[in-house]
Amino acid sequence: MSTSISEDRFTFSLPSLSYIDTSLEEQNTFTARPARPHGFVEWLAGRVAAFRTWNAERRALNELSQMSDRELFDVGLNRSDFGRMFNDATNEDLRNRGRLA
């Protein structure tokens, strides 16, 4: 079988992807809605939301701390990542990258 196939049928270009495609990430469930202090109820609701966020982050960090180094490596983390995981300032570049796309 000596059928000639044109080269353009097999050429394609990959889209320019970054290492992390932020459009495929889950919504961040750990951020609390900023409270607008118009009254005591709104202020209290903001404090409750902030406490829930803190507690969820604390439980996640506690669970990650109990994992072995091998298990952390399997999910793409190491122990030095713990300090920046829930710090908004260090993750701002990822959020900005998602807005530009």
Residue 26 lies in a domain: no
Q: Measured between alpha carbons, how far is 52 from 31 in angstroms, rounded to an integer? A: 9
Whether the Cβ atoms of residue 48 and residue 58 lie closer than 8 Å to each other:
no
In the prediction, which pLDDT does 16 show? 56
User: Average pLDDT of 25-53?
Assistant: 77
Residue 27 lies in a domain: no
Return the amino acid letter for 90.
Answer: T
pLDDT in tens, 58-83: 999 999 999 999 999 998 888 988 88
Residue 63 lies in a domain: yes
When divided into structural domains, the chain yields a total of 1
Residue 8 buriedness (CB in 10 A; 0-12 / 13-18 / 19+): exposed
Residue 86 lies in a domain: yes
Residue 43 lies in a domain: yes
Q: Which one-letter DSSP state was computed for residue 61?
A: H
The structure's pTM equals 0.50
Residue 49 lies in a domain: yes
Mean pLDDT of the chain: 75
- Which residues form the domain of 95? 35-101
Residue 47 lies in a domain: yes
Residue 56 buriedness (CB in 10 A; 0-12 / 13-18 / 19+): middle
